Amino acid sequence: MRAALAISLLSAVVLGLASPTGLSNLKVKESVSSPRGWIQGTRAPADHSIELKIALPQPNFNVLEKHLYEVSDPSHSRYGQHLSKEAVEELVAPHATSIQLVNAWLSSHGFEEGDFSRSPAKDWITLRVPAVLAEKMLDTTFHVWTHEESGDAVIRTLSYSLPESLHEHIDLIQPTTMFARMKKQKTTFRWSEKQATSAAAPGSKIQLSNGISVDASCNETVTITCLKELYNAVGFEPSAKNGNQIGITGYLEQFANLEDLKLFFADQNPAAVNSSFKFVSINGGQNSQNVSEAGAEADLDTQFAFGLTFPTPATFFSTAGMPPFIPDIGTPTDSNEPYTTWLDFVLAQSVVPQTISTSYGDDEQTVPVNFAQRVCNGFAQLGARGTTLMFSSGDGGVGDGDPDPATQQCFTNDGRNATQFLAGFPASCPFVTAVGGTIHVPEVAVSFSGGGFSKTFSRPAYQNAAVEDFLQNKLPKGRYAGLFNPNGRAFPDVSAQADNFRIFFQGSPGLIGGTSASSPTFAGFVSLLNSARLSAGKPPLGFLNPLLYSTGELGFNDITIGNNPGCGTPGFNATEGWDPVTGLGTPNFAKLRGIVLSV
């Protein structure tokens, strides 16, 4: 009887939605202020193709989150019991009512099931439509918006509407109101005759307070050998046969050149010279092997992550997305930032690398809150399945991502133009591990290390004690009041060396720096820990942060010197314990190995 009544009610709602009254009762779903630094231009060409991504609610995400924390907490009986792909999809699936109502709405605009695609969990719908139809569906007008500084152009709107009866069945539709500009996290790439010499020549040793001995040359040039010495991993050999894998993401046409990788291996890890990586193209992503098109970011990420973990099987994901729109040419695609494209692909795979590093990010305030939350939820799904995700914390200190403090624009993007420290996304997502940066031996915080507090995400329980200790006991009372959200998710979580990395780029050696170096570095050591666990018959680490902020704290080198200036301030200071410059510190692999093998 109840089932029959439910079906009857649903039919009535669908019929009501399909009626002229149901469709005409439009209400604004989302609106934003005119974004700082963007200029509105002409109306979008009517035939311009827009790929809309429609997010349906995930009513049971709180249950998934509960599972995630249980399998990631080393003190919980379920630690390491990660969920299957199918179990995760079931937990994020929308209600049947939402699916049917959205189907009815799409049908009213002439779409059939074969005209769009769904994610495996059916929580995302992707369809490509001409701008004129998108305007009709969303009761809005799209314009060409141009970014003043870069000249990049996108098609966006400041608001869109949906039938009021659909608001609880659609979380968001993008790209509509999102003016994010995905950026590589990279500060410097420079050359000199001195830097082009071989990295193999030994020098005198630096004796650290923890008993570790590091070659003195590591103060000027960072190599794989330097990192293994500094982070106490000399002599550990990962297995190529225990199922462990490591992945690197590539965006914005950053190509990882195989000849550069071979030169790097010959220089720093000769045993790996004849090895390579698996290339995976997503959404038409390319990986040109024309040496002149090699990407410094992609070369850095793959050379150090894969060099540290050889012979662990490695994957480079190349995801296309967010090309500039050129009105006079009529570029056929205009996508939102491609994290969702990557997530759509990876979440659909049965096997995913246990460790993945990303060296790209946006200013958090440029990413609509509901969109950031849905992307973050996607990262949580991977964590629940046993994958550890590392993201660079950013290269602008407490500023807007610009590594030059003199040119930072630390203003809110909500029409108030208020001065504020600006967090980076996805580093601010509580379901990823954000990696800040250090420099020199002994280590100090590197000045550009991104760190601070999110405005979008509240502080997760796993870091409450560490962050409260910093706010109450390490930060002078009243300092920077109003410039940051003390209740927000704090980052970075950890750090690693972030400057003077010796790579090969377009056939020549040189030095590069940025948290785009620290993230793949830290990921490399996480992969080594995963190798140790898998060889011992244990599951991979998965979502790492609950471990890091509990028993894992004992496995880090605390960094207490340095700061991360920005926004016309000295920024935060590195202190004893966690701080928003270097997080918990840098890894001591031997200690961490003992910790992760004991849980």
Dist. CA 551–CA 593, nearest whole Å: 12
Rounded Cα distance between 399 and 409, Å, is 8
Selecting among 72, 359, 447, 516, the annotated active-site residue is 516
301 counts as catalytic: yes
Nearest-angstrom CA–CA distance, 526 and 121? 29
**All residues at 6 or more sequence positions from 379 whose CB lies less than 8 Å from its CB, including other chains:** 343, 389, 426, 429, 431, 432
The answer on whether 299 is annotated among ligand-binding residues is no
CB-CB neighbours of 537 under 10 Å: 7
Contact 489, 430 (CB under 8 A): yes
Q: Which residue has the tokens 């630096």?
A: 206
Count helices and strands in the chain by DSSP H and E runs:
15, 29
CA dihedral 99, 104, 110, 115 (to 10 degrees): 10
Q: CA-to-CA distance for 523 and 347, rounded, in angstroms?
A: 20
Q: What is d(CA 251, CA 286) in angstroms, rounded to the nearest whole number?
A: 9
The residues near 302 (Cβ < 8 Å, ≥ 6 apart) are: 248, 256, 261, 277, 314, 316, 520
Alpha-carbon distance of 354 to 541, in angstroms, equals 8
> DSSP state, 472?
I
β 143-147/124-130 pair status: unpaired
| Closest residue by Cα to residue 548 from 490, 501, 487 | 490
DSSP sequence for 500-537: -EEEEETTEEEEEESHHHHHHHHHHHHHHHHHHHHHTT
Cα separation, 506 vs 239, in Å, equals 30
Please tell me which residue in 51, 65, 297, 362 is annotated as part of the active site: 297
Residue 164 annotated as catalytic = no
Q: Is 577 annotated as a binding residue?
A: yes
From first CA to last CA, the distance across the chain in angstroms is 50
CA distance 250 to 299: 10
User: Residue 104 to residues 13, 172, 349, 424, 596: CA-CA distances in angstroms?
Assistant: 10, 17, 29, 38, 50
In whole angstroms, what separates CA 246 from the centre of its chain?
Answer: 16
Catalytic site residue from 135, 229, 299, 301? 301
DSSP state of 366: G
Residues 6+ apart with CB under 8 A from 364: 372, 422, 423, 424, 425, 428, 454, 455, 456
Which H helix or E strand runs over 260? Answer: helix 258-268
Residue 507 φ then ψ, to 5°:
90, 0
Active-site residue flag, 362 = no
Q: Is 395 annotated as a binding residue?
A: no
Confirm or deny that 558 is annotated as ligand binding. Answer: yes
Q: Which residues of 152-191 are buried (b: 16+ CB within 10 A; e: fewer)?
A: ebbbbbbebbbbebbeebbbbbbbbbbbbbbbbbbbebee
Please report, in range form, the residues annotated as the binding site for Ca(2+).
558-559, 577, 579
Please report, in range form, the residues annotated as the binding site.
558-559, 577, 579
Catalytic residue ranges = 297, 301, 516
